[in-house]
Amino acid sequence: MKAYWFNNEAGDQRLPHDSGRAVTPDYLAKLGVLYYNFNKEQDVDKLATERSYKNRDVITVSPEKLGDIYEEKVKSFFHEHLHEDEEIRYIRDGSGFFDVRSEGDEWVRIFLEKDDLIILPAGIYHRFTTDDKNYIVAMRLFKEEPKWTPLNRGPEVDINPFRKDYLQSRTA
Ligand code: KMT
Ligand code: NI
Span 73-94, pLDDT tens digits: 999 999 999 999 999 999 999 9
Q: Is 73 a domain residue?
A: yes
Backbone φ/ψ region at 115: left (φ over 0), alpha (ψ -120 to 50), beta:
left
Q: Is 163 a domain residue?
A: no
For 44, the 3-state DSSP assignment is helix
Instruction: Kindly provide the ipTM of the predicted complex, given to two decimals.
Output: 0.93
pLDDT band at 144 (very low <50, low <70, confident <90, very high): confident
Domain count within the chain:
1
Question: Which residue of 133, 140, 147 sits with most ligand 1 atoms within 8 Å of its CB, as the best mutation to test the pocket?
Answer: 140
- Supply the DSSP symbol for 139: E
For residues 96 and 93, give the distance between their C-alpha atoms in angstroms, rounded to a whole number. Answer: 10
Q: Is 158 a domain residue?
A: no
Q: Is 164 a domain residue?
A: no
Q: Is 128 a domain residue?
A: yes
Give 127's contacts (C-beta < 8 A, 6+ positions apart): 77, 78, 79, 80, 81, 98, 99
CATH code of the domain covering residue 15: 2.60.120.10
User: What is the per-residue pLDDT across 90-101, written as a single tens digit (0 to 9) for each?
Assistant: 999 999 999 999
- Supply the DSSP symbol for 12: -
Q: Is 69 a domain residue?
A: yes
Closest residue by Cα to residue 58 from 151, 150, 136, 149: 136
Residues with CB under 6 A from ligand 1: 59, 61, 77, 87, 89, 96, 128, 136, 138
Average pLDDT for residues 105-112, to the nearest whole number? 98
Residue ranges making up the domain that contains 72: 2-143
